Structure 1
Amino acid sequence: METLVATLSGAGQVLLASLVFGVGLPTVFALGIRAYGWGTGQMRTGDEDVDPARRVLGRVLLWICLAVVILGLLAGLAVIISSGLGMDLHFDGIAPVLTPKGP
């Protein structure tokens, strides 16, 4: 059972890394734009009106997706800048922590 948990944990880490460093962020951005189009009624096929709850949900999904993309970009910039300054970047809690590299 421990092997299964370790395997799933490793697979989750690989999935997260591929989402952050691969095509994940552009996909999340595209999903946010699509949710916005869905919420404004741009993707309807008939002449029905757009439900106000649907409109709000589309905008909320857009802002959630944009927040994920912006946080991913800021995390990537933090890694690049910290290595350029000769520091290590740790994500021990919610906020990233910069520490000087050891000798």
Structure 2
Amino acid sequence: MSKAHGHLQQARAALTAFNPQAAEESLRSFEDEIKTSGLTADAAALFQAELAEIRGLAEAAKDGVAAAQRQFREILELSRRLDTYDRSGNRKAEQVAPMATRKF
């Protein structure tokens, strides 16, 4: 296994562990290694496949974060309009949203 391939594997592992900083460092190390040691045709095909997988993982992570952010915003919006009722069916008015700071 070449150093460049090892950097790609580290980048994939970092993305899987949701550590984008480590993944970026590994990809930069991969780039530096390719610049200094060159690239064979066989290695290029292998690296192209590895990079496609890494790109897919990065896209999936980006989509997952965006979905979580959307869900969090929806939960916040719904929690501000949360109505509660007591056992007899009467509506209880409770402040669930934080009070806005007022400046006079």
Please give the range of the TM-score, normalised by the shorter of the 2 chains.
0.3 to 0.5
Who wins on radius of gyration, i.e. which is larger? 2
The TM-score normalised by the length of structure 2 is 0.40
